[in-house]
């Protein structure tokens, strides 16, 4: 099923602008220099397509890639991407040997993981490959998720130093993660990170890549940039700040445009209810346009009745009634709207479109979630530099 009509126009699609993505990386790299850019492409690059986004980020000046788990890292390797890739979230029995063989760098959050990385390296060496496990040791500085607790840190870095001397591990980096709570908490986390770095040096480690900041702290605090910064949401052209700062003010361009075509048009009289539960009734005679996207596609049901807008025929229009699994309704008043007209849910505000951040606000969440949750029923279409190299089967899910 192509999701296109007889004229070849898409029923629904997410357009991913690879030039915008590369440009965002260039903008951020210029601000962060001399720190390296680790482009975070976890969760299918926040819904944008991991392989295409990784290639565009590297073209824009990123030197490393970051993912959550090993499956995501192997996807990049299997696509022919040979840049350094760091994966930091592991289950209880990870296949570190395969990762070592593929040259994937391992985020290590415990003594157990460190021991298993060394065991994996030893097994790979036994197979004649002769590689050590490239690791980034993670210290928990206050987020209280993964990462080595501070009380166990001295033991872990001592063991890591011994394994490095034995040639089983290469401690490429040491990292942590901010909790994004307050300036005071951030400062306390930097202090904890500095203590961890001092302990590592005392144990004989000399990591080449120290990193703690994601987009938000990297923009806010130059002192938190260290040797590298992990750029996620900023790379996709969305703001990391919840204080009203827009992506435009940061010099960033949203990469994804979510759009569809009007599927039906209906004229209704005053008092007519629309969609499930009739949470909306027409105040006067009006025209309703049906949009073929719903929560099955990632459009948040929570945005129902909360001020979400779309762009139709050059004007922003209000979403009315309950957002359903496959569709929602837009009130266009007395304006002329026809079946097949373009509807833009979010995209670049320079075009007049709402942003993913605005949809996030309407749904009581953040722009990160809006772009990441766009489902597989919505094909991605890549435009800009490098789009022609995107594999039609693996990358354009139509």
Q: Catalytic residue numbers? A: 42, 276
Q: Is 119 exposed, middle or buried (0-12, 13-18, 19+ CB in 10 A)?
A: middle
Beta bridge partners, 17, equal 383
Would the annotation count 111 as a binding residue? no
145 annotated to a ligand binding site? yes
Q: Which residues pair with 15 in a beta bridge?
A: 257, 381
CA distance 258 to 371: 9
- Strand 36-40 relative to strand 64-67: parallel, antiparallel, unpaired? parallel
User: How far, in Å, CA of 65 to CA of 45, rounded?
Assistant: 11
CB 260 within 8 A of CB 11: yes
Question: How far apart are the C-alpha atoms of 271 and 344, rounded to whole Å?
Answer: 27
Q: From residue 372, how far is each of 203, 207, 295, 382 by CA, in Å?
A: 40, 32, 13, 16
Angle between helices 150-165 and 183-202 (to 10 degrees): 40
Residues 160/169, Cβ–Cβ less than 8 Å: yes
Annotated binding site: 145, 325
Annotated binding site for substrate: 145, 325
């Amino acid at each position: 099923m192509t999701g296109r009509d007889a004229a070849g126009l898409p029923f629904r699609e997410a357009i991913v602008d690879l030039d915008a993505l590369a440009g965002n990386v260039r903008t951020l790299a210029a601000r962060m220099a001399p720190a390296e850019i680790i482009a975070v492409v976890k969760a299918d690059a926040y819904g944008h397509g991991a392989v295409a986004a990784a290639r565009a980020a590297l073209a824009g000046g990123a030197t490393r890639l970051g993912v959550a788990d090993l499956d995501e890292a192997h996807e990049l390797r299997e696509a022919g991407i040979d840049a350094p890739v760091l994966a930091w979230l592991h289950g209880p029995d990870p296949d570190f040997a395969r990762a070592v063989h593929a040259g994937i760098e391992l985020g290590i959050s415990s003594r157990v993981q460190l021991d298993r990385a060394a065991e994996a390296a030893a097994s790979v060496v036994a197979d004649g490959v002769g590689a050590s496990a490239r690791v980034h040791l993670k210290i928990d500085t206050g987020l209280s998720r993964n990462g080595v607790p501070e009380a166990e840190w001295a033991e872990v870095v001592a063991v890591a130093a011994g394994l490095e001397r034995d040639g089983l591990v290469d401690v490429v980096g040491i990292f942590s993660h901010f909790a994004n709570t307050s300036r005071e908490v951030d400062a306390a986390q930097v202090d904890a990170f500095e203590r961890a770095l001092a302990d590592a040096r005392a144990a004989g480690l000399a990591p080449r890549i120290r990193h703690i900041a994601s987009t938000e702290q990297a923009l806010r605090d130059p002192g938190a940039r260290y040797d590298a910064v992990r750029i996620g949401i900023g790379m996709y052209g969305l703001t990391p700040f919840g204080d009203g700062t827009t992506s435009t003010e940061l010099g960033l361009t949203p990469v994804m445009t979510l759009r569809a075509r009007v599927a039906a048009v209906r004229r209704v009289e005053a008092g007519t209810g629309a969609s499930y539960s009739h949470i909306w009734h027409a105040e006067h005679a009006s025209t309703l346009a049906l949009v073929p996207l719903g929560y099955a596609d990632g459009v948040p049901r929570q945005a129902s009745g909360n001020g979400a807008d779309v762009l139709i025929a050059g004007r922003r229009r209000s979403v009315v009634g309950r957002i359903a699994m496959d569709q929602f309704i837009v009130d266009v008043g007395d304006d002329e709207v026809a079946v097949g007209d373009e509807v833009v849910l979010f995209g670049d505000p320079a075009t007049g479109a709402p942003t993913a951040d605005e949809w996030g606000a309407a749904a009581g969440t953040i722009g990160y979630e809006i772009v990441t949750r766009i489902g597989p029923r919505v094909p991605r279409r890549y435009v800009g530099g490098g789009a022609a190299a995107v594999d039609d089967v693996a990358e354009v899910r139509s």
